[in-house]
Structure 1
Amino acid sequence: MTNINDITVFFGWCSVINMGFLVFAVLFLTLFNDFIINVHSKILGISSSELPSLYFKYLANYKIGILIFNLVPYIALKLMV
């Protein structure tokens, strides 16, 4: 049976992994911007001018998801212990 400490550790590692993925995505989009825009515009049929705003929305939504589903439960469990 799991206890609060196990669940806290789980949410902590989920937060670390998801923040690492977010940093990786930001670095990848920053360093290889032209290449990624060309590939996505050809594959998805979206104009190159629309893609940067879509990338920004994706990263913003992902960050909000990390906050809501990983960090808030982790902090709440840390405060309970």
Structure 2
Amino acid sequence: MYDTIKYKGRNYPIAIIPDVFCNKEREIIIGSSSLNNALYNEEEGYPDKEAEYLDEQIYAFMDEDYFNLSLDDFISVTKRYID
């Protein structure tokens, strides 16, 4: 299912999907690349504890364009993109 995570007043797209890599009985969260950019900076690290906490909940990040796909197509792309 598609949803959003709110961080610093802005909503970022996420997808909650079955764990297609290890355990299909649990769900994982795939975040958008814009969320990744908001949560972590290569030079400065995490801007705050909330960002670090949210980042730890996300399995992986993908480009925003994929969040426009049907959920089945999103899962297929996720398998190819991350695996």
Query: What's the TM-score, normalizing by structure 2?
Result: 0.24
Structure of higher RCO (CA pairs closer than 8 Å, 6+ residues apart): 1
Q: Would you tell me which structure has more helix in proportion to its own residues?
A: 1
> Who wins on radius of gyration, i.e. which is larger?
1
Q: Would you tell me which structure has more strand in proportion to its own residues?
A: 2
